[in-house]
Amino acid sequence: MKINAFSHDLFESISEQKIHHWVGLAVELAREAYENNNAEARAYVERLIFRINADHSFAAPLSSPVGLVWNILMKAKLTASITPYLNNGCRRLEDLQALLREAVIKTDREDHTWIDEILEESPYDHNFVVYTKNWFITAYGFCHQLISLAQHTNVKVERVVLSNVSDELQGTDHATQRSRFFKSICGRPFDSLQALEDPDTLTEAFALSNYRTGVCALPVPSYALGSFYSVEVAYVPSCERLLRGLNKHAFGDQDILDYVSGHGVLDSQHSEEWVDAIRAADLTEQDYECVTAGALAQLELRHRWFEAMRAAAKSAASLKPASLGFPSSFQVDNFDFNRLGDSI
């Protein structure tokens, strides 16, 4: 059964028997994806979470049983993503800033050089098309995620978050600019349902988007503050590489060039604003560790996304259902989880 059918079926009945069925399935999926590290289960779950997020404006869904399923899957995902970075020893803003400076330098060296490589030949090279498709997934719903975070902050932080929302909506809104970027490079408009089964779209891109949606839904904003701070500081050097690579080929789409160059400046400003937001949040030492954990988890998921793009480019064998596209062996009804590994 395909994700679209699965997601739709969640809304068809709210009988107690049906709820027990979906909750039991969600628990098994979460265990396979995030405890047993089953790649095919994770591919399925990340796409399912993304479908639910897109259907609910990137906020926690309230309808039952889809809300129960989402909570079970998201709790398992966030636990697996964040736990390795807790107890990190960063208990002051200065500690966080110093650690992220080093982390972003490492990110630029290890990940962003991939942008240089894929723009070596042409902006329409297949690898840059793949990058664009996956980048769009990671940015899809960004404004909605900010709005979700604003609901869980004090007034001082809320002002900073909503200022970022305002920047997203000024003039030609950023979502429209990103859509134009996608269409110019990929040759067609973005369709979130098609993306679920597009063989070029990586599980890791969905995972990165879903992480940000999840931390923004938490009642404690610390993890999301760290996530957005790391988003802004990391995107600045990648914009510099994008702009350099596009200009190298005398790229003619001025809207895209303006978007990339504008974000190089704007996100630098935003990173400072997120420092102000973190400072205004009246955080305890333990809270600062949570902010740091939220940032490091975001950067790790981002690193995995870049690594997955490199792997996909190096070998056609990496484009198998366990990593890309829909895992066709999944059956929602009468599913035998013990046989998952056979198809990977």
- Residue 124: CB atoms within 10 A of its CB come to 14
- What pLDDT is attached to residue 14? 66
Highest mean pLDDT, choosing among 80-84, 105-109, 314-318, 333-337:
80-84
Lookup: tokens for 258:
């303006």
- What pLDDT is attached to residue 331? 38
What are the pLDDT digits (tens) for 112-121?
999 999 999 8
pLDDT at 325 over 70: no
What are the pLDDT digits (tens) for 192-226?
999 999 999 999 999 999 999 999 999 999 999 99
How confident is the model over 184-193, as a mean pLDDT? 94
Residue predicted with more confidence, 238 or 171: 238
How confident is the model over 240-249, as a mean pLDDT? 90
Residue predicted with more confidence, 258 or 52: 52
How confident is the model over 38-57, as a mean pLDDT? 95
pLDDT at 329 over 80: no
Lookup: tokens for 242:
């994008």
User: What percentage of the chain has pLDDT greater than the value 90?
Assistant: 62
Buried b (16+ CB within 10 A) or exposed e, 92-118: eeebbeebbeebbeebbeebbebbeeb
- What pLDDT is attached to residue 189? 97
- Domains of the chain plus CATH, in order, are 3-81+327-343 (no CATH), 89-318 (1.20.910.10)
